[in-house]
Structure 1
Amino acid sequence: MNPRRLSPRGPLSALSGQTLSRRGFFGATAVGALGVVGGLGLAGGSTLLTPTRARAAGNLPITIVNNSGAYDNANVYIHVVGTLITTGQQGHVDQSGTFIPASLGDNNQPDGSAVYGFPLSDWGTVSLPEPISGRIYISLGARLPFKVVGTDAGPGIAHPAGWVDSDPSFGILYDSFEFTHQNGAMYCNSTQVDMFSVPIGIHLQGVNDQRVGFIKSGARGAFFDKLRNTEGFSNLVVDDRRVIAPSHGIGAGRFSATYFDGYIGESWDRYSSAEMSVNTGTAQYQLRRDGDALVAYQSGAERVRFDRPSTADVLFCNGNLAAPNDGLRGPIAAILGAALNRSTMRDYTNQPTTDAAQFYQNSVTNHYAAATHDAHSDGRAYGFAFDDVSAFASYIEDGAATSVELTIEPL
């Protein structure tokens, strides 16, 4: 099977009462396989922002600034791919700002790939149409090869999978910016859920003036060094090209599939004799162990139960920790997943924990996610898909966006 995934999976549920998040539009990714095809819909309990300032045109200008210090604009390539929200069609955005539905005929290169990228020297500003959800991929030194494949839902785009050795993108330096642009509003984030490679800072202007995704001086090199010297995580480092997220590292044979198992067991055991209080923002639950499951009770009545997750479930925020769009299991699963990744579940009976000083303190923890937060100047990052729990994710939104500036930070 082709290891590259189709356009981002979704939707998983955002925490009830919150506005749209990365999980709401992008979800978790498949393990070493093609992802699920489909439109990226609204998460249950989420709300679209209402524009408060008119923008003359439907297209949103996105300017890319190259501060890499290693590649000139002619060797920086921009690729805009995504899903048209109104129809569910997958495709790319061309240099005029037009959405072009994907076609099998796009695979017209000698290697059978599709060309969706243009040099930054030819395309300093992206004109982003709406309504669309997707990604802007930025690659350095070479275009990224995409592939259009036939699916039951129509032509789908297989995205790069830089964590798979055999993928055509593996030798290319690249990263991505995630977005949903709809009704004049912009929802966007930088992400390290798949890997950490090229840091991309985001400056979103509209009703507010917001920045996210910028890293500290020298932080990229420090990040690589930190993971190279962390037991169990060193094999995730691929030269100076990228650090693969531990979730993908399992399928790539670079990370232990049982890494979290001991800590999961200790956390489950704790609630044989203690009770966890979980506040989702709209409801309060008490969790206690029953057999090998954690059961959520409300007013003494059982509401939902969670079987013990695997290490992969914790890292992918999926499987026994999948967050369906139901307003019940989803919000609780997100909080449990965050508590396990941040290693707070065993020691703190009130969840979610909101004090970052309590995160990642156990020897068994998501050291990759911890390092992503350390690298960013504001401490916000997307080290795993539930990193938006308690608002620690590198996510911003504006109901009447007027411009976006993406900065390729120094390598």
Structure 2
Amino acid sequence: MSRWGAAAAVAALVGALLTLGAPAEAAVPTTIPLKVTNNSGRGEPVYVYNLGTLLTTGQQGWADENGTFHAWPAGGNPPTPAPDASITGPAAGQSKTIRMPKFSGRIYFSYGQKLVFRLTTGGLVQPAVQNPTDPNRSILFNWSEYTLNDSGLWLNSTQVDMFSAPYAVGVQRADGSVGTTGHLKSGGYNGVFNTLRSQPGGWAGLIQTRSDGTVLRALSPGYGLETGALPASVLNDYINRVWQKYTTTTLTVTPFTDQPNTRYFGRVSGNVMNFTNSSGAVVTSFQKPDASSVFGCHKLLDAPNDLVRGPISRTLCAGFNRSTLLVNPNQPDTTTANFYRDAVTNHYARAIHAQMADGKAYAFAFDDVGNQESLVHDGNPQQAYLTLDPLS
């Protein structure tokens, strides 16, 4: 069964952690409107899906266009077809408003064809287009991720799993103002693919194209490793240089912007980077990571939901993906001019951020370190927005 994207977990975690114990600015209603606008210029029909976990009960299911929740029926082994959860989206140049319930989930949209969802005994099978046999592989689609709870809305655009059909998200606040993020620069969609095509080392292999020549998406580099598009050694040179530097230099991590005195100090000994606190006690250690651990911010860079290892790992992950660990021994480095400057870096993330109108994106799981993520949030949301942009 395919997993929820890493950014879904991040969005849900952000929603839970930032609001834990905090009073809501106002009572958030059971559902809020989501205005879907089709500015894609494409003539195919659009299908919209609102899938997720109902926060009040923990049940998984989908919401119809009125925001009414429907639990998934029991699945099977092999997986059985899921009920048709599609909502007919707006035609080109049109808008349609649906309702969002208190979910932690995804808003999918597809062009021309409905997505194929199946159910196993463990729940919903998400599209996994890194798999050549996935039935959704030839469909042009994408998704946004959100958490709506009693403390507000967190809604983001995401490229953690793939870069595909462009869109932006937004939220209207109680004062009538609207915050948006996720729009590409003019020509930015093609610009991302052109950057990957021109980058040696296998990065062009991340791009998936349909038999009719339509460019569908670029897979994230983690999936590029899985599919063999990128070599397992793609980050070895940078990782080796980082490990060598911090054999004789101390890496200082200050993971919380509101706690400048909470610092951890990393030094490498052999294959291990040990972190100590201000008292000199070792608080956590990391084995030398590989490219998969870096791109996915998992495995050897696992980030548990705690107050020590998780925050340090998030910081390391961001530093490795943005290649800032050699230019600054004080992390996180939030100076965007330092990002992606090394020849060995996450060129997928580099390409995406370079083409975003506001520079913000969720190009890897902890791209929110230093507030670089494409996220809108409001504690008293009046309306949410999903805008489908041109593929140009």
Name the TM-score, length of structure 1 as normaliser: 0.86
Alignment of 1:9-28 (within 5 A): 21-22=10-11, 24=13
Give the structure 2 partner of residue 137 of structure 1. 108
Structure 1, unpaired ranges of 5+? 13-20, 26-40
**Measured at CA, do residues 139 and 49 of structure 1 come closer, stay the same or move farther in structure 2, by a change above 3 Å?**
farther
Deviation at 1:399, TM superposition (A): 0.4
Deviation at 1:143, TM superposition (A): 0.6
Give the structure 1 partner of residue 171 of structure 2. 204
Give the structure 1 partner of residue 24 of structure 2. 51
Pair 1:292-2:271 in alignment: yes
Give the structure 2 partner of residue 30 of structure 1. none
Q: 2:156 aligns with which of 159, 170, 189?
A: 189
Tell me the distance in 1 between the aligned counterparts of 2:19 and 2:305. Answer: 10
Give the structure 2 partner of residue 60 of structure 1. 32
Q: How many corresponding residue pairs?
A: 374
CA-atom RMSD in angstroms: 2.3
Tell me the distance in 2 between the aligned counterparts of 1:197 and 1:179. Answer: 18
Give the structure 1 partner of residue 244 of structure 2. 269
Q: 1:168 aligns with which of 129, 135, 146?
A: 135
Alignment of 1:208-247 (within 5 A): 209-231=178-200, 232-239=202-209, 240-247=215-222
- The answer to whether the 8 Å contact 2:155/2:376 transfers is yes
Tell me the distance in 1 between the aligned counterparts of 2:41 and 2:5. Answer: 30
Tell me the distance in 1 between the aligned counterparts of 2:389 and 2:338. Answer: 29
Letter in 2 for 1:64: V
Alignment of 1:7-406 (within 5 A): 7-8=4-5, 21-22=10-11, 24=13, 42-43=16-17, 47=20, 50-54=23-27, 57-72=29-44, 75-104=45-74, 112-121=81-90, 124-130=96-102, 132-151=103-122, 156-183=123-150, 185-207=152-174, 209-231=178-200, 232-239=202-209, 240-281=215-256, 282=259, 283-299=262-278, 300-406=280-386
Deviation at 1:135, TM superposition (A): 0.1
- The superposition leaves residues 222-252 of structure 1 with CA deviations (integer Å, 9 ceiling, x where unpaired) of 1111111111201001121101111111112
Secondary structure, aligned partner of 1:286 = strand
Tell me the distance in 2 between the aligned counterparts of 1:324 and 1:397. Answer: 24
Secondary structure, aligned partner of 1:387 = coil
Give the structure 2 partner of residue 410 of structure 1. 390
- The superposition leaves residues 147-188 of structure 1 with CA deviations (integer Å, 9 ceiling, x where unpaired) of 11112xxxx111111222210110000000100010151011
**Measured at CA, do residues 280 and 46 of structure 1 come closer, stay the same or move farther in structure 2, by a change above 3 Å?**
farther
Identity of aligned residues (%): 35
Deviation at 1:88, TM superposition (A): 1.9
Deviation at 1:291, TM superposition (A): 2.4
Farther off after superposition, 254-263 or 333-342: 254-263
- The answer to whether the 8 Å contact 2:155/2:170 transfers is no
Letter in 2 for 1:125: T
- The superposition leaves residues 326-382 of structure 1 with CA deviations (integer Å, 9 ceiling, x where unpaired) of 110000000000000011112311111011010101111001001111111000001
Letter in 2 for 1:24: L
Pair 1:5-2:26 in alignment: no
Farther off after superposition, 59-68 or 201-210: 201-210
Give the structure 2 partner of residue 17 of structure 1. none
- The answer to whether the 8 Å contact 1:194/1:244 transfers is yes
Deviation at 1:22, TM superposition (A): 2.8
Tell me the distance in 2 between the aligned counterparts of 1:354 and 1:136. Answer: 30
Tell me the distance in 2 between the aligned counterparts of 1:263 and 1:275. Answer: 17
Name the TM-score, length of structure 2 as normaliser: 0.90
Deviation at 1:254, TM superposition (A): 1.5
Structure 2, unpaired ranges of 5+? 210-214
Tell me the distance in 2 between the aligned counterparts of 1:247 and 1:167. Answer: 18
Secondary structure, aligned partner of 1:405 = strand
Tell me the distance in 1 between the aligned counterparts of 2:12 and 2:301. Answer: 13
**Measured at CA, do residues 378 and 11 of structure 1 come closer, stay the same or move farther in structure 2, by a change above 3 Å?**
closer
Farther off after superposition, 294-303 or 206-215: 206-215
- The answer to whether the 8 Å contact 1:294/1:306 transfers is yes
